[in-house]
Amino acid sequence: MEKPALRVILGICLAAILVYVVRSSHLQANLGKRDSIEYWAVGQLLIHHQNPYDPARIFDLERSQGYSEKQPLVLLTPPWSLFMVLPMGLTNAFSAWLIWISASLGCLVVAMRICWTMYADQTIPRTVFLLVGYTFAPVPACLVAAQMGLLLLLGVVLFLKLETSRPFLAGAALIFPFAKPHLLSFFWLALLVWVFARKKYAVAAGFLTAFLVANIISLKFDFTIFHNYRAMLSQTPVQSMFIPALSGVLRLIFFRRFFWVQFIPMTLGFVWCAWFLWVKRSTWNWRTHGPALMVVSVLTAPYAWMTDEVVLLPAILQAAVFVYSAKRKLSLKTRLAMTIFVCLNGLLLLILAAKIPFSTGIYFWSSLVWFGWYAYGRSRRRAALKRQPDAAILT
């Protein structure tokens, strides 16, 4: 094992031990305030071959660990995602949280290292690259909430990294972000078109194999899991729920009674996606063009939380490289764009530090910030490539 990788693993282990020793009593008292409690409850039910989508049983388990809300935290992700939370049912709630956070930190570190190899160039210092990545507001948000976003991120990054060299593994890695297929809708559409247009059947085989294995694991512990999942969805009033995404807030302000309004941004996004795929069809490159699909997907998603936006880390880092590469000719416009991004990201971090719940909707504008930052980074890249016609393939 390489020394850098060993240092990373040791660092994560030491950090986990430090947290356990110094703050174990405080953390145990607040387990009920983190999403890992629902993952633990689902894992417990699966291990005992019970219905992991039973709200009543989930509620009982969550309340036994200090959960105090009036409604249970029920996992809404489909059965093929449950392999990720299954191991948490093998231990107690606190140990499950510790394992989950350690795994999330590991995913973050690996994703950052891969993004560095894919997007960094000689123009941007490693410290700047790391600073942008680790202070990206959805990263600490995901860790604080103990959400699964960082596992989804790792799957996306592995696909971007392995797509050309190991297509089967690249396809298999996509089982992680497919836990929330609605989050990256245009990414999946482009993938489907690309697989058939370019005959990338190894990628499809890898994904289908992972999908089959994930479902077999869930069916092994609950043979009626798909029936139970449909029953849970039919009993969950998603139409009346407030979704703190841009589409959800627009519906709340202007069209509260019409659930279908939340899908209008996605519909418009599909039109853009079709145009984008057509324009880039001859020069398509997932590392270059994939982040754009992810940014627009999250911006127009009918159901998303700020913790989900951590999957946009590759796009944010790519844009940072584009902007920083033009530092020698920083115009007033570029300085202003950088300042606005830093300030708005900092504001989100301050709101997060103030412990304002995600459900309040106060974070709904975050996807607009990431879209604006990425769009500006792409514009800087296009301007630079106009002076290098031979590099037009990168646009």
Read off the pLDDT of residues 19-40 as tens digits, 9 standing for 90 and up.
Answer: 544 454 455 556 656 778 899 9
Residue 185, Cβ density class (10 Å: 0-12 exposed, 13-18 middle, ≥19 buried): buried
The residue that leads in pLDDT, 230 or 30, is 230
Write down the domain spans for the chain.
3-394
Residue 338, Cβ density class (10 Å: 0-12 exposed, 13-18 middle, ≥19 buried): middle
3-state DSSP assignment of residue 316: helix
Torsion of CA 109, 112, 117, 122, to 10 degrees: -120
The residue that leads in pLDDT, 123 or 185, is 185
Q: Which residues contact 132 (CB under 8 A, 6 or more apart)?
A: 316, 317, 320
Closest CA to 336 of 346, 323, 347: 323
The residue that leads in pLDDT, 16 or 56, is 56
Residue at 94: amino acid letter: F
pLDDT in tens, 99-113: 899 899 999 999 999
DSSP code for 179: G
Residue 310, Cβ density class (10 Å: 0-12 exposed, 13-18 middle, ≥19 buried): buried
> What percent of the chain shows pLDDT beyond 70?
82
Helices 225-235 and 201-221 sit at what angle, rounded to 10 degrees?
Answer: 90
Q: Which two tokens stand for residue 315?
A: 């796009």
Q: Is the pLDDT of residue 146 over 70?
A: yes
The span from the CA of 244 to the CA of 121, in Å, is 36
DSSP code for 126: H
The span from the CA of 145 to the CA of 166, in Å, is 33
Mean pLDDT, the chain, whole residue set: 85
pTM beyond 0.85: yes
